[in-house]
Amino acid sequence: MRIGFDGRPLIGPRTGVGVWLEGLLRGLVAATDWEFSLLLPRAVAALGVEDLAPRVRPVHPAVPLPGTLWLTTVAGPSLAGRADVVVGTLGVLPRRVDAPAAVVVHDITPRTRPHHHTLANRFCFNAYVEDSVTRADAVVCVSNATRDRLAALMPSVARQALVIGEGVDPVFSPAPPGADPAPVRARFAGGRPFIVQIGTLEPRKGIATLLAAHAGLLARRPEAPDLVLAGLRGWGGDALDRVLAAHPAPHRVHLPGYVERADAVALLRHAEAVCVASDEEGFGLPLAEALACGAVCVASDDPALVEVSAGAARHVPRGDAAAFAAALEAALDDAGRAAWQARARTRAAELGWGPVVERWRELLAALAGARRA
Average pLDDT by stretches of 10, the chain with 373 residues: 97 94 98 98 96 97 91 91 95 92 87 59 66 93 96 91 97 96 98 97 92 97 97 80 92 97 98 97 96 98 98 97 97 90 96 97 95 61
Give pLDDT, residue 122: 57
Q: For the packed helices 337-348 and 285-292, what is the interaxial angle rounded to 10 degrees?
A: 110
Buried b (16+ CB within 10 A) or exposed e, 135-157: ebbbbbbbbebbbebbeeebeeb
What is the value of pTM for the model shown? Answer: 0.93
Going across the sheet that includes 138-141, the strands are 56-59, 35-39, 2-6, 85-88, 101-105, 138-141, 162-163
Which DSSP string corresponds to 185-199? HHHHSTTS-EEEEES
- Residues 181 and 331: their CA atoms lie apart, in Å, by 18
Which residues lie below 8 Å from residue 307, measured CB to CB, with a gap of 6+? 143, 144, 145, 284
Phi then psi for residue 125, to 5 deg, are: -80, -55
Cβ–Cβ under 8 Å, residues 188 and 267 = yes
Q: For the packed helices 16-31 and 353-372, what is the interaxial angle rounded to 10 degrees?
A: 70
Instruction: Decide if 2-167+353-372 and 182-348 have a common fold.
Output: yes
Give pLDDT, residue 372: 59
Give pLDDT, residue 373: 57
Domain boundaries, the chain: 2-167+353-372, 182-348
CATH superfamily name and code, 182-348: Glycogen Phosphorylase B; (3.40.50.2000)
Handedness of CA 89, 143, 34, 96 (dihedral sign): negative
Give pLDDT, residue 206: 95
Give pLDDT, residue 307: 98
CATH of domain 2-167+353-372: 3.40.50.2000
Pairing status of strand 194-198 against strand 162-163: unpaired
Cβ–Cβ under 8 Å, residues 371 and 99 = yes
Number of H helices, E strands in the chain: 15, 13
Q: For the chain, give the longest Cα–Cα distance.
A: 68
Buried b (16+ CB within 10 A) or exposed e, 74-99: bbbebbeebbbbbbbbbbbbbbebeb
Give pLDDT, residue 237: 60
- Residues 252 and 103: their CA atoms lie apart, in Å, by 43
| Other Cβ atoms within 10 Å of 255 Cβ, number | 15
CA dihedral 195, 196, 197, 200 (to 10 degrees): 140
- Residues 371 and 13: their CA atoms lie apart, in Å, by 35
Alpha helices in 113-256 (DSSP H): 119-135, 144-153, 155-160, 182-188, 207-220, 237-245
